[in-house]
Amino acid sequence: MKRPVAIWFLIIFFIWAVSKDIQLLVTHKISTDYAVFQHYEMLQVFYVFATVIFILDFLTSYFLVRPRKIGFWIALSSIVTSIVYSGLSLTLSIRDLQAVRTAYEIHREARGLIVRKELLDKIFTPEGMQATFAFSALVSVAACLIIVRNKRYFYQGDEIE
């Protein structure tokens, strides 16, 4: 079966997402999101989102390689769940930006990475956090549009509802 270029893009996108999900699940304690949810004593919410997003991204990758009707809906669910998670993380971050910044610095230093204070001054502002979320949401919406435009791929000749 010949796959359109857009489907190849989605396959790469979701395989990358699965690899990031695995990294988050394995090294969660050094992630900034973990620190944010821990700060608000909401680690259960963090783990639920991380696990659900991993499962949805994995299933989406599978259904992009082996198209089925349900794969279309799983792909959309994956993107929506990721946007909701990012929005919640943004909301929690903005509520206490200084604590999030401190956690980010500690986690970067723990990994032996350079911490550039002047860059953090630009990122850890409400505007900087919102811009990051907006970019992430834009990429997600673009992926969502590609999925919707290629709905037939998932249905493989079956009637589209």
In this structure, are residues 152 and 160 in contact, taking their beta carbons and an 8 Å threshold? yes
CA-to-CA separations, 102 to 85, 109, 147, in angstroms, rounded: 21, 11, 38
pLDDT digits (tens, 9 = 90+) for 149-159: 999 999 984 55
Residue 107, in any domain of the structure: yes
Q: Which residues contact 79 (CB under 8 A, 6 or more apart)?
A: 140, 143, 144, 147
Name the helix (H) or strand (E) containing 156: none
pTM of the model: 0.85
Residues near 90 by Cβ (< 8 Å), separated by ≥ 6? 129, 130, 132, 133
User: Which one has a higher pLDDT value, 108 or 139?
Assistant: 139
Q: What is the pLDDT of residues 94-132, one digit of tens each?
A: 898 888 888 778 777 877 888 888 888 888 888 888 888
Does residue 126 fall inside a structural domain?
Answer: yes
Residue 114 lies inside a defined structural domain of this protein: yes
Q: Is residue 160 part of a domain?
A: no
At 120, which amino acid appears?
L
Q: What is the pLDDT of residue 89?
A: 92
Assigned domain for 55 exists: yes
Q: What is the mean pLDDT of residues 37-60?
A: 95
Is position 129 within any domain? yes
Q: What is the mean pLDDT of the chain?
A: 89
Predicted confidence at residue 158, as pLDDT, reads 56
Give the structural domain span for 138.
Answer: 5-152
Mean pLDDT of 35-59: 94
Residue 19 lies in a domain: yes
- The predicted structure's pLDDT at residue 159: 52
pLDDT at position 15: 97
Amino acid letter for position 64 = L
Instruction: Tally the domains of the chain.
Output: 1
Query: Percentage of the chain surpassing pLDDT 90?
Result: 58
CA distance 115 to 120: 8
Residue 159 lies in a domain: no
